[in-house]
Amino acid sequence: MTARGRVAMNEQARSILAGLGGVANIVDIEPCTTRLRSEVRDARLVDVAALRAAGGHGVMISGRVVQVVVGPGVDTLATDLEDLM
């Protein structure tokens, strides 16, 4: 991946982190095929529009579990998110 691509992925990770309500709101986060699956403390803090603006193709919320469809780059994105947390 190019340096520019890495910066773009890092910015996407920052935007998704904010859309999930910030570091303090995240209990767990993991990649799952093409989805980023996370458990949050308070689902009311999740900003679906922000997650879509950050590149999420879809967002599903069930209780405190939030899944963001991001595509095949989910593993790299999850690593970036863990680095930010």
Q: What positions carry a catalytic annotation?
A: 32
* DSSP code, position 70: -
29: left (phi over 0), alpha (psi -120 to 50) or beta: beta
| 10: phi then psi, degrees, rounded to nearest 5 | -65, -40
